[in-house]
Each structure stands twice: as structure tokens, then as C-alpha cells.
Amino acid sequence: MAAALRAVRLEVVQDGIALIRMINGDNKWNMPFLNEFGKALDEVERNEDIRCVIFTGQEKFFSYGLDLPWIARQTKETNKRFLFENDAIIDRVALFPMPTIAAMNGHAFGMGAILALACDYRVMRKGRGWFCLPETKIKLTFSPITLELIRLKLHRVQTLRDAAIFSKRYTAEEALRADIIDEAVDENQVMEAAIRYGNEIAGEILDRGCVSAAKDKLYGVPIRAKRDAQLQSMTEKDKNDRIEGFIRGAQFLASKM
């Protein structure tokens, strides 16, 4: 199995272990990126021999988050659809029916950090790269889905406070101490460690249905409850104001880049 797209590359690195590598420079999220990422996930799910999937980036970037200049150029309707698809990808990774591992080769900011949190395991490179949720510092807000995922994955109250509210930047060593990641390794050991996790976790074939059901009970149910509660409390004006605020924020930030 191999698929070469402009933003991601899909390959099998060992029997039963798929690798989705983001290859678009700093790997910022826009609609073309989400479309390709979704197609890669589709192909992994179609292959019944795959037992585990690893996500990684290239050079010094795992993923640098939202593509703000792209967002700033889009219409309100396009951005509305983009935000929906953005949440859908994160939800899909969080509930993926097999073990998922983030091989964090470099910077993981914003949606890149949230993608890593959506995975079951996280291995991060020492020496270069930050883990950071910068939303409050750049005047953007989390969606109900991403905020609930962050709450579920960052177990320590202090870590949740510092990361989600005050946008602390974590080195690999700091992220390990804060229980954000599972292992901090040297640059040349990131992929080796991720594959080791894959072999240990999925050494025996796990039933995809059971894995998916367990993840849904742990993550899917509370995420949907939070999303539905917020949506029910929002008027159409509230929803429009959120989209327009998101676009204004992206336009302002893009103008400073």
C-alpha cells in the first residue's frame, strides 16, 4: 500500500504498520490538506492487514497548525465547511479503530498539537520542537470537540491549565514530565520508537470493532455530549458570530505574518 499526494504520503513501514507522513513544509491545515489526510485514513481503513498507524511530519515540523493566510482568503461558507471538516478529522483520529501513534519529529502547534493528542501514544523528539496550544495568545478559541479532547487527554490539572489557558510551550522533556507524551527520544530514534510502540501494542491483531467501541465510550460519548450541549445553547446568530470572529482573527493574524 502506497499513496503519494501533495500534502501527505502513505506507506507501510513494517508488516501491519502504516505511516502517514505530512510532507507539505510546515504542514499547516487547510481544506486541500484535510481532503488528502482523509483519503489516507480511508486507505488505511480499507487495508485489513494494517494493525496500527503512525503519523509524522518532516524536517523540523510535525504540524504548525492552521493555515491562517489560506483561511483569511476564503469565504464565510468555505470556512464554515472547513471548521466542520477540521473537527471531523480530529474526531476520526481520536476514534480510529486501531492503535494510533504520533511520531512528533518537530514543532506541534495548534491543530498539530491537537492531532498528536488525538492519537493513543505520543513520541517526541528532544532538542528541537515545541508542543503548544497557542489559541488564547493568538485570540482564537477552541471548538467544543477540540476543547473536550484536550480536557480528556491532559490529565493533570496543572498541565491542562498551563497548556490550554496560558499556551505554555513544552520541550519534549517538559512534555514528558507533564504527562503530555509517552516518551522523549533523540532525533534519529523518533520513528524507531514509534514503530516499537506499534509492534508492542498491536503485536497481536486487535479487533477493530472492539477498539473503536472502547474509544467511543472513552472519548466519543463525552465529546459528542459537549458538542451537542453547546450547539443547542447557541442561536444562529451565535454560530454566525463564531464563524465571523474566527475569520477576523485569521485575517488579523495573517496580516502580521
On average, the pLDDT of the chain sits at 91
pLDDT at 32: 95
- What CA–CA distance (Å, rounded) separates 88 from 124? 25
**Tell me: the pLDDT tens digits for 166-221?**
999 999 999 999 999 999 999 999 999 999 999 998 877 789 999 999 999 999 99
124 three-class SS: strand
Which pLDDT does position 167 carry in this prediction? 96
Q: What is the 3-state secondary structure (H, E, C) of 32-45?
A: HHHHHHHHHHHHHH
Q: What share of the chain is helix, strand, coil (3-state, %, to 5)?
A: 55, 20, 30
End-to-end CA distance of the chain: 38
Listing DSSP states for 134-174 in one string gives -TTTTT----HHHHHHHHHH--SHHHHIIIIIT---B-HHH
Chain centroid offset of residue 78 CA: 21
In the predicted model, is pLDDT for residue 8 greater than 90?
yes
pLDDT given for residue 204 in this prediction:
73
- Residue that is written with C-alpha cell 473537527 in the block: 87
Count other C-beta atoms under 10 Å from residue 210's C-beta: 10
Percentage of the chain exceeding pLDDT 70? 95
Identify the band that residue 1 occupies on the pLDDT scale cut at 50, 70 and 90.
Answer: low
In the chain the domains, ranked by start, together with CATH numbers, are 2-201 (3.90.226.10)
pTM for the whole structure: 0.93
If you compute the radius of gyration of the chain from its CA atoms, what whole number of angstroms results?
Answer: 18
Q: Rounded distance, CA 117 to CA 218, Å?
A: 14
36-40, 81-85, 93-97, 174-178: segment of lowest average pLDDT: 81-85
